């Protein structure tokens, strides 16, 4: 039981990590195709990510030590599943607790979510569930048969035709169960009203701030990694790599400068673009309004850390102030709106006009 819990935790951790990486594009696509971000659908997509990794953790992990593996063969008789069931019900005791029955049940249940996700998120029915379930199961079984594609000298888990049958059955059953979900809630087709303006709420502004923080962090991390690799392999300056200050300086400057460029050109940050928000109505000329909008957002706050250690504390303080203001100002316009004198609108209202 402990191993099963650990594998579940690993799948959840990897799924959440990938969810964070994909959050900004997911938000942007949701607002453009469906006009909003739904908590329910967000959780479903996150569940699909966790499920995808659970398939691999439960079927491949834990990876054994190469010196301790026991090579196994193939089970190619499809009737082996029937004999396992007969054995479970013919032996004394509760057949539902028999290892053979539990193995078959687990193989079916493991692929039931696949059929559900295919129908609810992809609007695909039983034929797709059957083909996808079989293909994914075949990929897993082949990975086991080849010793994780040559990582091990031989297969340490059985290639089992019965698993192909039960996994595929599970995917089909999941597709059937998902028929209870209303048709209007299935798929990723664009909504007819996706381009219509919607109310500007604090929740929407908070999502924009989160997108800005994540995207800015990813840009800074990528630039920092590139600088460190250049110092290590291009220049050969090991001391600079260990110090890390140059990488921090360059990554912060690039991330802050990128946000400044994007806002000066379009008037909106990455987060604003993702959730279809726009700051408008400033009494100041547009370059100054956009510069102040940048100064009150993640770009300006991050840029303060370039000025020295004292400003690191000021940057943290402004981050706290920005979080408070988004909860207390009208429609969550926050610090950028107060500095620039602008208010928040739905970008689609201007596009429609």
Do 232 and 329 share a domain, yes or no? yes
CB 252 within 8 A of CB 302: yes
CA 271 – CA 294 distance, rounded (Å): 12
36 and 75 share a domain? no
In order along its 353 residues, the chain shows pLDDT tens digits of 456 678 778 888 889 899 999 999 999 999 988 888 888 888 989 999 999 988 888 877 777 777 777 887 777 777 777 777 777 777 777 777 777 788 888 889 989 999 999 999 888 889 999 999 999 999 988 888 888 887 787 777 878 888 889 899 999 999 999 998 887 777 766 676 777 888 899 999 999 999 999 999 999 999 999 999 999 998 888 888 888 899 999 999 999 999 999 999 999 999 999 999 999 888 888 889 999 999 999 999 999 888 877 777 888 888 999 999 999 998 899 999 999 999 999 998 864 44
Tokens, residue 333: 């316009």
Pair type for strands 277-280 and 74-75: unpaired
Quickly list DSSP for 306-321.
Answer: GG-HHHHHHHHHHHHH
Contacts of 248 (CB under 8 A, 6+ apart): 224
Mark whether 209 and 168 lie in a shared domain.
Answer: no
Beta carbons of 279 and 344 less than 8 angstroms apart: yes
Residues 222 and 340 placed together within one structural domain of the fold? yes
Which of 177, 194, 211 is where one domain is finished?
194
248-278 confidence digits (pLDDT tens) = 999 999 999 999 999 999 999 999 999 999 9
Give the number of domains in the chain.
Answer: 3
Among 39, 63, 87, identify where a domain stops.
63
52: containing domain: 1-63
160 & 292 share domain: no
Q: Are residues 112 and 164 in the same domain?
A: yes
Q: Are residues 174 and 265 in the same domain?
A: no
Verify that 235 and 110 share a domain, yes or no: no
Question: Which pLDDT belongs to residue 2?
Answer: 55
Q: Are residues 343 and 214 in the same domain?
A: yes
pLDDT in tens, 29-70: 999 888 888 888 889 899 999 999 888 888 777 777 777 778
Q: Show which of 34, 63, 92 is a domain's final residue.
A: 63
What's the CA gap between 215 and 221, in Å, rounded? Answer: 10
């Amino acid at each position: 039981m402990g191993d099963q819990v650990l594998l579940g935790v690993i799948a959840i951790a990897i799924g959440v990590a990938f969810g964070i990486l994909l959050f900004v594009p997911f938000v942007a696509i949701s607002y453009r195709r469906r006009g909003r971000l739904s908590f329910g659908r967000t959780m479903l997509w996150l569940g699909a990510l966790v499920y995808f990794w659970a398939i691999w953790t439960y079927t491949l992990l834990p990876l054994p030590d190469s010196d301790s593996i026991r090579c196994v063969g193939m089970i190619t008789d499809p009737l082996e599943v029937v004999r396992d069931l007969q054995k479970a019900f013919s032996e004394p005791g509760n057949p539902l607790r028999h290892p053979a029955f539990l193995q078959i049940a687990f193989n079916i249940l493991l692929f039931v979510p696949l059929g559900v996700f295919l129908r609810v998120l992809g609007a695909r029915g039983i034929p797709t569930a059957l083909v996808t379930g079989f293909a994914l199961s075949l990929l897993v079984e082949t990975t086991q048969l080849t010793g994780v594609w040559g990582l091990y000298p031989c297969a340490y888990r059985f290639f089992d035709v019965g698993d192909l049958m039960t996994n595929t059955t599970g995917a089909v059953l999941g597709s059937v169960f998902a028929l209870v979900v209303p048709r209007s809630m299935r798929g990723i087709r664009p909504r007819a009203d996706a381009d219509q303006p919607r109310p500007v709420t604090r929740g929407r502004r908070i999502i924009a701030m989160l997108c800005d923080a994540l995207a800015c962090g990813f840009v800074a991390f990528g630039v920092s990694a590139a600088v460190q690799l250049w110092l290590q392999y291009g220049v050969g300056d090991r001391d600079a790599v260990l110090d890390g200050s140059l990488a921090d300086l360059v990554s912060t400057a690039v991330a802050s400068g990128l946000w400044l460029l994007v806002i000066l050109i379009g008037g909106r940050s990455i987060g604003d673009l993702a959730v279809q928000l726009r700051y408008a109505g400033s009494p100041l000329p547009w370059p100054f309004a956009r510069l102040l909008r940048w100064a009150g957002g993640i770009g300006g706050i991050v840029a303060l850390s370039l000025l020295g250690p004292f400003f690191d504390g000021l940057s943290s303080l402004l981050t706290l102030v920005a979080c408070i203001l988004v909860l207390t100002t009208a429609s969550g316009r926050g610090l950028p709106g107060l500095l620039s004198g602008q208010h928040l609108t739905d970008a689609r209202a201007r596009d429609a006009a």
